[in-house]
């Protein structure tokens, strides 16, 4: 009888642990967001290209909207660059092969040579295409 109680207790604990653990797809999306963040910070053009959809729409908090080529070109030409960049307070919501990501964008940006402390919020849309999570949309906004 004691063994059954211990077994039931263990199963209850294990079930709670599994339920609390993030889903594997959520971890994959979070990893893709982190990889994109690091690619932007370290100007990894190959990784920027690999993590973004050819049909990307990238919205800035100023209202400026760019396609993939424009987004990458601004980083490549140092029109936009970062001394520091991190995404904070991130949430990931999955709906099939689409992930909705909200986070706080905290950075020391360098825009046309001028350092600009930046704190904005982001809404990103990621889609799983051919087994990879790609950014298809992003809109930043002032919080």
Token duo for residue 28:
């994959």
- Side-chain half-sphere CA neighbours of 27 within 13 A: 4
Between the CA of residue 33 and those of 3, 11, 88, 124, what are the distances in Å? Answer: 45, 34, 11, 9
pTM over 0.85? The answer is: no
| Mean pLDDT on 19-38 | 87
| Mean pLDDT on 89-114 | 95
Task: State what percent of residues in the chain have pLDDT above 90.
Answer: 79
Query: How many whole angstroms from its chain centre is CA 27?
Result: 11
């Amino acid at each position: 009888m004691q063994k059954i109680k211990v077994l039931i207790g263990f199963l209850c604990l294990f079930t709670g642990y599994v339920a609390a653990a993030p889903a594997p797809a959520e971890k994959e999306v979070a990893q893709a967001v982190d990889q994109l963040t690091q690619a932007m910070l370290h100007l990894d053009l190959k990784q920027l290209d690999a993590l973004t959809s050819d049909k990307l729409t990238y919205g800035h908090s100023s209202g400026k909207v760019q396609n993939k080529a424009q987004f990458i070109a601004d980083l490549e030409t140092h029109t936009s660059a970062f001394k520091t960049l991190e995404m904070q307070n991130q949430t990931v919501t999955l709906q099939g092969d689409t992930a909705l990501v909200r986070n706080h964008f905290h950075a020391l940006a360098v825009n046309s040579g001028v350092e600009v402390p930046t704190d904005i919020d982001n809404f990103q849309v990621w889609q799983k295409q051919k087994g990879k999570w790609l950014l298809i949309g992003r809109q930043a906004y002032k919080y």
